[in-house]
Each structure stands twice: as structure tokens, then as C-alpha cells.
Chains A and B, each alone.
Chain A
């Protein structure tokens, strides 16, 4: 059967076809806009999370599972060197740096705050927060007893660049240690919790404070986020083959918040998809049932001329296929236009738990257009199946009697 007869049949009742196209397009456009918005938010959060954690982290299972007593999970220099040797030459890796995190208590005047100190090699080129420093300066390799604090902590404790705070912590041997630290810079981050609780200092100074030469993790950055899982598996195999009792965790393993949020976004999109599906399905079912019913006599004629039931069915489904494609494509273009318009407005919003307003935007691309397009096409085609089967199974003699 030819493709053009169903297309012409579709266009015979222009008003009804326009209505059907409008319904499908509306569903597709709404779906595309919301999906693009959720996807953009997810990607922004993904980028922030990777900024915070790196793509991959390598550490002892005791650290990941929180089963260590004291600092037994530390990776000592010879193991660290071996890991770096294993990773040399891997094309996906753009940088590796070591990190040591330690809990502590800082005091400023008569105020104290429990903090998590992240120590790393300044100017490591892999995971540095230089770009986030908004006052003072970033850490330098030559720094000793220097610290970067978050904007929210500075505000809460009334601290400024140049002030001195006292850090109290426990060494790897279990002894208490206290030291004055000079604030050399204040950084900003999207999360208020990070700004309140995370301090940054040079790795060498943190090792001196803890009385160790070890680090607790190696952070690996990759050229692309999408390479994370494949690279994690490959590195894990290298470590296992070398009998190193270490485990690779990915950035999304390390951020339960991201996982929960991504799950929530998926759920939200799932509900929206279902709503659009139901809307398109039932309205188009109604429209097509009526459209096919009006053509009963014509279908009877086609059957009388020798068209088989299967050929009539495929012709009606092809007609619905055209409707699905035209409606969904129109929806994609309308959705893209709305998204572009929305992005051009540059509306700002500060999500809960963040200190920085971000510009609301909608992700535009093939991958955000495909799911809404697919859902609308499937809903339209499914809605056509029942009336098309019913029409194709009409008795010829009965169909010809219909006026």
C-alpha cells in the first residue's frame, strides 16, 4: 500500500486534523519543556557534585564503609605511588590528586564550629577551588598554617581574610593537637552546608597536624562525566589485579543527595509523561474513532474492491502514524521555541539550601527532545489501534449500507 493515500486521508478534514495535531503538539511541547528543565537542573547539580568530589575516588573499603577504628584506612606513600603508576597513560584521566580529610573543631573568640577539613596539594590542577575564592587568595604550595573558609562560616563567626582561628583535632596516635590558622581566603559554593562545614588547607600541613605521611584518598578527574562508570570499572580491575585492597567510588556513589534528586526528577518526569500519555491517548482515541466511523462506507468500498482487512488496518495505522509524526514534530518545534524564549529571559532562582541564585534554563538538544517525541508517537499509535482494528473488521456488506 502506498504512503500517500493515508496522508491525504489525514488531511481531508483539516479542522479535525489540526485539532489532533494541536493536542499532540501541546502534550509534546509541555513534556519537552519540563523534561528539558529537569535535565538542565540535573546537569547543573551533576557538574557541581563532580566539582566537589571529582569523577572518581580511590580509598580503603574501611573508609567507604566507615568501619575503621582511627586512621587505619590511610594510604601510605608507597601505595599511593603504586596507584599513580597503575593509572599513568590512561587516556580518559585528566588529573589525579591526593586528599586527606579530617574532622576538627575551630574556635574564633568564644564561638566554635565542628568542621571537616579537606586538605590537598594546592595548585594541583585537578580538584582545586581557586575559581570559587571570592575574597583573599587561593592556597599556595608554600602556605603553612593557612586555611580557606566558606562564606557562610565567615558570616556566622564574623571572620574575615587575615583573621586567625584555632583548630583542634586528634592525631593518628590519638593525641590532641591544636594550632592557630590564618584565613587566607573565603570561598563560595552553591551549597550552604558545604560553606559552613568545609575548610581547605595544604595537604602537607594537614599531614603534619595528624602526624602522618598518608592520605585517605586519591581523586581522579576524567575528561567526560559519561566515562565515569567505565573508567571506574577499569581502574578497579587494575587495583584488584595488583592485590591492592582499595575500592573505587564514583561521584554519584559519593553524593546520596544527587542520587535522591535524580530519582525525584525521574519520578516527576514519569508522572508528567504518564499525564501527557493519558491526555493524548484518550483524546486521539476519541478523534480517530469518530474519523474512522465517518468513513465506514469508504472502508466498505475499499474492502469490496479487494482490499484485505490487513491492508485496511495498515492504511489506518499509517494514517495515525502520519498524525503522530506531524503532531509530535510540531510539538518538538513549539517546545524548543518556548525553551529558547525561556532561556533568553534569564530568570534567576535560589534553590533551598543554596546560597547562590542560579539562572533557570532549559536543556535543549536531541536527547531531551527524543523522550517526549517518543511518548507522543507511541500514545497516538496506541490510541489508533483499537478503532483501526474495529474498522478493518467491519463486514463489507454492512459497511456499504452505511450512508
Chain B
């Protein structure tokens, strides 16, 4: 593991902010408010869990934070820069360089091996081959899959796939990692292993880790708990 203390010296500064974040959808003639006037801030190194019932707006919130969707009103600021001011290309650049995404269904590219899936973000960053190989090797070792790099996703178990997805999310050393129900498709034991790994990586890499989950077992890992209900956000108690 590389020394990541350089990331943590920024602790205390707001890395991520949401101001009056609102998202509405037009369904037929009616307007659905998926998110209403949400204010939120996360500091460098925060491990935050977001709970809430289905349809409460958790995923919408994550989509806006991760810059894969645009708000109807309000804004998301990452390191003080409003995503509203960025073009599609700049948003792609932001996701590539600063954000790591972990999906509920892993979303690995089926034609790529485990190692190639982890390597993909580095290809986008045009990192030289030797450096890519080194980082992939280290990252796979870190998620405990050093021996399985050549396997295709369909040759891996659910837990192994999610570890590869985590490796892919972290390999570019992002400062913000967003995970949408990362344990939903895993058994409880594997889910616990994955969460242990995420906590370890959060501590070592000092990234902002935002996890959306239904799973009460996940909540215990977080430093902060946030609840979303009917599109409104409420800061919960410390777990």
C-alpha cells in the first residue's frame, strides 16, 4: 500500500457539498420530486452511509453527487467547483480523475479479465503500460485477488466480482468513492468481507466514502449516517 497520508492532510476541508439540491421528473402530467432542497457536506476521509426506503431518492442523490446526472435545481460542488458549470466532457474528466463508482450489480465489463477491468480507468487516464501493470498488481493484491487477475467476471463469485469493482473504483486513487448497495447481491459473510475491505481502504486512502444501502449491517461501518425520506435528507446519529 502506498503512503496516502498526503490525502488526509486536507481533512477538515469540505471536499463535497450539495446546496439546495433538487431533482424532479416529469411523469405524464405530474411532477415527481425525487430530491427536495438537499444540503449536504462531506469532509476528506468521511465514511458516510445513506439509508432510506426504496424510492426515497438515495440513488438519485448518488447520481447527482457522482456527476452522472444533473440537478433540476441547486448544485453539487466538488472541491469547490460546481458541476453545473462543467460540460459533458469535463464531467467525464471529473468522474475519471476524482470519483470511483461501485455498483450494486458490479457492472464489470464481461469481455475483460478481472485485471483488465481494474486497469480500464488507467487506460482512460493514458497511464503508461508499466505503471498500469504495477498498480493493477498492487490493487488486486490489496483486495485479495492477486491470483485471479486473468479470470473473466463470469468465472468469479459475487464477492470476488465486487472486490474487482472496488479495485476498479480505487485504482485511479480517487478522492471520492460512491457505492450503491455494494452488498445487496452478496451473502452476509461476503458482504462483511467487502465492507471490511472498504473501511480499510477508506482509512488507508483517506477517501470520502459514500455508501447507499438498505443493509443495517453496513451502517455500523460508517462514521456518519444519513437518512433520506421522500427526497429529504436528515442527518442521523452517529452509529
Contacts and interface: CB of A to CB of B under 8 A. Distances in A.
B135 to A, nearest CB: 16
A400 B68 contact: yes
B95 A306 contact: yes
Nearest to B108: A301
28 contacts: A1-B123, A2-B123, A5-B109, A8-B112, A9-B111, A301-B103, A301-B107, A301-B109, A303-B92, A304-B68, A304-B95, A304-B101, A305-B101, A305-B168, A306-B92, A306-B96, A306-B97, A306-B99, A306-B121, A306-B124, A307-B124, A308-B92, A308-B93, A309-B92, A395-B69, A396-B68, A397-B69, A400-B107
Interface residues on A, range: 20 to 34
Nearest to A8: B111
Name which of B111, B112, B123, B124 has the most chain A CB atoms within 10 A of its CB: B111
A303 B103 contact: no
Interface in B84-111: 88-89, 92-97, 99, 101, 103, 107, 109-111
B193 interface: no
Nearest to A395: B69
A302 B97 contact: no
B120 A305 contact: yes
A311 interface: yes
B66 interface: yes
Contacts of A396: 68-69
Interface in A228-276: none
A8 B113 CA distance: 11
Contacts of B121: 305-306
B63 interface: yes
B124 A311 contact: yes
Contacts of A400: 68, 103, 107
Nearest to A298: B109
A197 interface: no
Contacts of B68: 303-304, 396-397, 400
Contact of B107 (A11, A12, A297, A309): A297
Interface in A305-354: 305-311
A403 B86 CA distance: 29
Contacts of B96: 305-307
A325 B121 CA distance: 28
A5 B112 contact: yes
B66 A306 contact: no
Given A304-B68, A396-B69, A12 B124 contact: no
Query: What 8 A-B pairs are tightest by C-beta distance, nearest first?
Result: A306-B96, A8-B111, A397-B69, A396-B68, A301-B107, A306-B95, A308-B92, A306-B92
A362 B120 CA distance: 49
Contacts of B66: 304
